[in-house]
Structure 1
Amino acid sequence: MAKKASVERNRKRERLAQRYAAKREQLKAIARDQELPVDERFAAQLKLAALPRNSAVTRVRNRCEITGRPRGFYRKLRMSRIALRQLASQGMVPGMVKSSW
């Protein structure tokens, strides 16, 4: 199990990223638009920098929904390899059987 603080910090980042997503996208579009004057684009860049750092989507870490483990993460299943193996051994994952050769 991951530390509870790490999991909660990541959840906070997810909430912030969701809350500021529209505003960040709007400011990024203004900053990228080559048709606008330089001072207006620079002002948008400053406003973007003034937003909370944890509101950026890249700061969110993929973590297992069950254990909170940050490594060995399967995006499609939203869980780590270890949690997946445990559930598969218990027969909880349809179509997945333990391999032996």
Structure 2
Amino acid sequence: MAKTSVKARQKKRERMAAQYAEKRAALKAAGDYAALDKLPKNASPVRLKNRCQLTGRPKGYMRYFGISRVIFRDMALNGQIPGVKKASW
């Protein structure tokens, strides 16, 4: 499980990227790179990292579900994810 501060930092970056998205797009379209440099660093979507929504784990992230493979396996085996079951043949 990731530290609370790391998860909070990620949430802050997500909020800032969403907040400045329209402004960044307008400045990029206008070609005003000097103004783009003056925006906060955390407003850039490149700084976002895919993390598990429940634990904050950065590795083994499953984009479709938004959680890590470890949590996905636990939830699937407990029947908490609809339509997912363990394969057997």
- What is the TM-score with the length of structure 1 in the denominator? 0.82
RMSD of Structure 2 on Structure 1 (CA): 1.2
Match of 1:67 in 2: 55
Any stretches of 5+ residues in structure 1 without a counterpart? 32-43
Between the two proteins, what is the percent identity of the paired residues?
Answer: 45
Match of 1:9 in 2: 9
How many residue pairs align between the two structures? 89
Match of 1:92 in 2: 80
Question: SS of 2:20's equivalent?
Answer: helix
Question: SS of 1:28's equivalent?
Answer: helix
User: Are residues 1:24 and 2:12 paired?
Assistant: no
Any stretches of 5+ residues in structure 2 without a counterpart? none
Structure 1 segments of 4+ aligned residues over 6 angstroms from their partners? none
Specify the code of the residue in structure 2 equivalent to 1:53: K
